[in-house]
A and B are shown apart, each in its own frame.
Chain A
Amino acid sequence: MAEPGAFPLEVTDVIKDYPGSVRALDRVSFRIAPGERACLLGPNGAGKTTLIRLLTGALSPSYGQVRLFGLGVQHDDFLTARRRVGIVPQLPGMYRDFSVDDYLQLVRDLYGRGDIAEVVEGFGLGPYTRRPMAELSGGMQRRLSLAAALLGSPDVLLLDEPTVGLDPVAMRDVHSFLRRMMPGRTVLLCTHNLAEAEALCESAVILQQGRVVLHERIDALRQRIPALLALRAAQGPERLLAALTELGTSGRREEDAVLVPSPEPTTQAPELLRRLLAAGVDVYECRLVTPSLEQLFLDIIGAPHART
Chain B
Amino acid sequence: MLAPEVRILLRKELRQLVRNRGAMLTALFLPVLIMLIVPLAQILGVNPDRPPELGFAKDSLPPGLAAVGKDPLAFMRLLLMPLVGMGGMLTPALTASYTFIAEREARTMELLVALPVRVGQILLAKLLAVLALATPVCLALLALDAGLLLARGMGSIGYVIALLVLVLSSLAFSSTTALLVSLLARDIRTSSNLNGIILTPFIFVSFAVVLLVPGVILAAAITAGMFILGTAGALLFAMRVITFERMLR
List residues of A whose CB falls within 8 A of some B CB. 18, 53, 56-60, 78-79, 82-83, 85, 87-98, 102-103, 106-107, 109-111, 134, 148-149, 152
Contact = CB atoms under 8 A, between A and B. Distances in A.
Interface string B90-133: 00000000000000001111110111111100000000000000
Contacts of A83: 116
A132 to B, nearest CB: 10
B156 interface: no
B117 to A, nearest CB: 6
Contacts, number: 76
Contacts of B249: 18
Given A58-B248, A97-B19, A111 B116 contact: yes
A95 B114 CA distance: 14
Contacts of B114: 56, 87-89, 92, 148-149
18 contacts: A57-B119, A58-B113, A59-B248, A60-B245, A88-B114, A89-B110, A89-B111, A91-B107, A92-B111, A92-B114, A93-B111, A98-B12, A103-B111, A106-B8, A106-B12, A109-B8, A110-B115, A134-B106
Interface in B13-41: 15-16, 19-20
A109 to B, nearest CB: 5
Q: By DSSP majority rule, is chain A's interface helix, strand, loop, or mixed? A: mixed
Contacts of B109: 93
A95 B116 contact: no
B32 to A, nearest CB: 24
Contact of A95 (B108, B115, B117, B248): B108
Contacts of A79: 5, 116-118
Q: By DSSP majority rule, is chain B's interface helix, strand, loop, or mixed? A: helix
A88 B114 CA distance: 7
B97 to A, nearest CB: 15
Given A58-B248, A90-B110, 15 more contacts: A53-B248, A57-B118, A58-B119, A83-B116, A87-B114, A88-B114, A89-B111, A89-B114, A93-B106, A93-B108, A93-B109, A94-B108, A97-B19, A110-B116, A149-B114
Nearest to A96: B106
B106 A53 contact: no
Nearest to B8: A109
Contacts of A90: 110
B160 to A, nearest CB: 38
Given A58-B113, A98-B16, A92 B108 contact: yes
B116 A93 contact: no
A129 to B, nearest CB: 17
Nearest to A85: B116
B20 A97 contact: yes
B107 A53 contact: no
